[in-house]
A and B are shown apart, each in its own frame.
Chain A
Amino acid sequence: MQIFELSFVAAVLLATTPVLYAALAGALSERVGVFNIALEGQMLWGAFAAVAGSHFTGNPWLGVLIAIVTTAAFSLVLAVGAARFKADPIIIAIGTNLFAIGLTGFLLRILFDVSGTFAPQGLQGLPDMTALRDIPVIGPLFGGQTLLVPLAFVLCIAAGLWLRSTPGGLRLRGVGEHPEASASLGVNVASAQTWTTVVGGALCGIAGAQLALGNVTVFTENMTAGRGWIAVAAVMLVAARPLWLPVACLGFGAAEAFGFRLQGLGAPQQLTDAAPYAITLLVLVATRVRFGAKRPAAS
């Protein structure tokens, strides 16, 4: 098996993309001081909405749009609850994650009268960028992928640069680092937290859409299968810095793609399943030992 085969790199990019969108959502929320572990449920809802949207309209891009809008609306529960009403974002997220699993399974039965898997005849997935096929290197990497794959990396870098180098980004970082100081400078803290979390919801909608209409063309119950939690781990691994997220998520994506290959060879996949969490924990332990004394306990 060749690790550096281009087809393997393409598989890594594919595995990385949904996690990267969700991780960007988590990182942005984290930077405004909303601890967001609702990614798994939001992504699952996004996957369902994208498939249902594509099925009913016949257009996969409308499916993506429906996923973005409805997942953003779904994230309002967390956004408004945590920012405006000072409810515990952890408890809300535990609730919305359960709710998303229940609601998607419920609607699968009610709307489509199936349970488990929904892959109707003629369900339109997102098109691959076939125009790129003949370009060397780019072709094998992106020719078989949807537009959402490169977009994830572009959005991540754009968000990172925006946070780092613009007045708006500075204001947003201020909200997370010192809400009282931000408020005294005239920044509306609750509103910044709300809208950032809703943008995160929209990103989770794209994550779900790419997963259900890009990586595959099907919705299965609980199909996110922990990707939202891997995204949470990625956010912690890079201390919520979007510029570093692609690196972390590519690492996790490589573990997933490698795990698939291992499974294909009849070898245990569990090792690579555990890798993202184990690596994140080890890195947290290693970095906190060095810098821990200076940091306040995050809780």
Chain B
Amino acid sequence: MTVAPPHEPEIEPRSAVVRRLLGAAARHPAIVPIAAVLLALLIGAGIIAAAGLDPVVAYAAVLEGALDPRSLDYTFSVWGFICGMALAAAIPLRMGEFNLGGNGQLVLGGLAAYVVAAAVPGPLAVPLALLAAVVLAGAFGALSAPLATRFNIPIIISTLLLAPVAVAVVSFLIRYPLAEAGSGVAQTAQLPEDARMWALGDLRYSNVGLLIIIAMMVVFWIVDSRTAVGFELRVIGANRRFGSYGGIVVRRLALGAMTAAGAAAGIVGAVIVLSSPYRLIDGALLSPGYTFAGLAAALLAGGRPALIPVTAVLFAVLQVGGAAMERSADVPRQLSELLQGVVIVVLALRTVLDARRTGRSEH
């Protein structure tokens, strides 16, 4: 250790202050996602330019398409679905687990909601349909917890293996027992008027379902930041052995987290099915890719409840604006998925900076 010379001034030199402020800013939790998005947009611009198209025009078309007053209603509904699927990913992510089974939980939620809404007459149809979705999808998500804690099958693997089974079962049910009679399309009959999600004014796409999803996010935010369970989740996520040593029961926590995750995805499936066109269509719940957009939003937010609504805006804008970009700027809409992928890869590779800082001390 070197001893400071006696005539060193009390005040830090300006460069040191700036460097310290920059250092503090670089450690702010929002910096990494923002930098990842900017870098991804730059890489995307490079790809657009390499394809002989104008990136500025393309990005402007995305924003215009998604934020046009006429399409805001639709953008909001997509944002809600992405937020819901982000919750399904984020709750287990808080304890360091990956839920890759969102697709299965989503379609089972849709299935349960449809069956109950079609069977129950009167005003109770919608609430009971939502409840059924929560129960079925939540139970399906919960399956992964004992598989992990009793059978040592990591949650990422069990969710990955369970999801295609659920998707196949629901696809079978739509095509055979629940199929609409006389229809050539693989879909169920339409739900009756009573069994449709309550409208929100005269909006076409956004309905009360969006408010339910927002309410779920508020609940997650409160549980995560204000309750013991939320604290335990984060402790386990940070250091599982320390948490267990401190008396946290991982078994119970995993069960709760996976149930909540499945329920969140189930609500999204239910809201989609109870909204226009009010039926189950084979593949229609999965084709917009809400599960992976939500997973991407959750990863970008680092699972933080307060950041998810923000990161979900990005992916909702990309998704809705992508189609508009294809129409008005003739840039293929697949650019949206490409950019989603780049954001996630850049985010994962932030460890490059750690390696630079710590040098090669680790082997």
Q: Which residues of chain B in 329-361 are interfacial with respect to chain A, using CB atoms and an 8 Å cutoff?
A: 332, 334-352, 354-355
Residue of A nearest to B355 (CB): A85
Do the beta carbons of B332 and A105 come within 8 Å of each other? yes
Minimum distance in angstroms from A238 CB to a CB of chain B:
14
| Complexed CA–CA distance, A280 and B169 (Å) | 17
| Residues in A neighbouring B156, C-beta threshold 8 A | 90
- Among candidates A81, A96, A183, A274, residue contacting B169 with C-beta atoms closer than 8 Å: A274
Number of chain A interface residues as a range = 35 or more
Shortest beta-carbon contacts, A-B, top 5: A99-B341, A102-B338, A95-B344, A105-B334, A102-B337
**Considering only CB atoms, which chain B residue lies closest to A184 in the complex?**
B363
Q: Is the C-beta of A1 less than 8 angstroms from some C-beta in chain B?
A: no
A4 to chain B, nearest CB (A): 26
**Contact status B299-A94, CB under 8 Å:** yes
Given A94-B299, A106-B334, A270-B168, also A87-B341 (CB < 8 A): no
The 8 Å CB contact of A292, one of B151, B165, B332, is B151
Q: How far is it, in angstroms, between the C-alpha of A94 and the C-alpha of B298 when the chains are bound?
A: 12
Given A105-B332, A285-B151, does the pair A81, B164 have CB atoms closer than 8 Å?
no
Q: If A77-B345, A85-B355, A87-B348 touch, does A284 touch B164 (CB 8 Å cutoff)?
A: no
Taking CB atoms, residues of chain B closer than 8 Å to A299 are 154
Distance between Cα atoms of A110 and B334 in the complex (Å)? 11
A277: CB under 8 A from chain B? yes
Task: Fill in one digit per residue for A282-299: 1 if any B CB lies within 8 Å of its CB, else 0.
Answer: 001100110010010111
**Chain A min CB distance to B338 (Å):** 3
B151 touches which of A37, A97, A289 (Cβ 8 Å) = A289
Indicate if the CB atoms of A95 and B341 lie closer than 8 Å.
yes
**B88-113: which residues lie under 8 A (CB-CB) from chain A?**
98
- Mark A75-112 against chain B: 1 for CB-CB distance below 8 A, else 0: 00100010011111011101111111111111011100
Please state if B162 and A277 are interface contacts (CB–CB under 8 Å).
yes
Query: Which of B154, B345, B355, B362 has the most CB atoms of chain A within a 10 A radius of its CB?
Result: B345
Check B292–A98 contact: CB distance below 8 A: yes
Assess whether B160 is interfacial by the CB under 8 Å rule: yes
Q: Which residues from chain B contact A97 at a C-beta distance below 8 Å?
A: 341
The answer to whether B332 touches A109 (Cβ under 8 A) is: yes
Chain B residues with Cβ below 8 Å from A105 are 332, 334, 337
Interface residues contributed by chain B, number (CB under 8 Å): 53
| One of B3-11, B170-178, B259-267 contacting the partner | B170-178
Nearest CB in chain B: distance from A255 CB, A: 11
Q: Nearest Cβ in chain A — how far from B356, in angstroms?
A: 9
Nearest A-chain residue to B173, judged by Cβ: A270
The 8 Å CB contact of B338, one of A81, A103, A292, is A103
- A226 in contact (CB, < 8 A): yes
Q: Is A67 an interface residue (CB 8 A)?
A: no
A286's closest neighbor in chain B, by CB? B151
- Give 5 A-B contacts (CB < 8 Å), ordered by A residue: A92-B349, A94-B292, A96-B341, A103-B47, A270-B172
Excluding A91-B347, A98-B340, A183-B363, 15 further A-B contacts by CB distance (< 8 Å) are A81-B345, A86-B351, A87-B352, A91-B344, A95-B344, A96-B341, A98-B338, A99-B341, A99-B342, A101-B334, A101-B337, A102-B335, A271-B168, A274-B167, A277-B163
Set of chain A residues within 8 Å of B249, measured between Cβ atoms? none
Contact A95 B342, beta carbon cutoff 8 Å: yes
Does B161 lie within 8 Å of A281, measured CB to CB?
yes
* Other-chain contact of A115, B47, B171, B292, B332 (Cβ < 8 Å): B332
Nearest CB of A to B240, in Å = 8
Say whether A128 faces chain B, with CB atoms less than 8 Å apart.
Answer: no
Assess the A292–B152 pair: CB atoms within 8 A: yes
B295 within 8 A of A: yes
**A106–B164 contact, CB under 8 A?**
no
Q: Decide: A86 and B355 in contact? CB cutoff 8 A.
A: yes
Please indicate the chain B residues that have their CB under 8 angstroms from the CB of A77 in the complex.
345, 349
Residues in A neighbouring B42, C-beta threshold 8 A: none
**Chain A residues whose C-beta falls within 8 Å of the C-beta of B334 in the assembled complex:** 101-106, 108-109
Please, which residue of chain B has its CB at the minimum distance from the CB of A89? B348
CB-CB under 8 A from A88, the residues of chain B are: 348
B296 at the interface (CB under 8 A from A): yes
Among A85, A232, A281, point to the contact of B158 (Cβ < 8 A).
A281
Q: How far is the CA of A96 from the CA of B347 in the complex (A)?
A: 12
B169 and A298 within 8 A (CB):
no
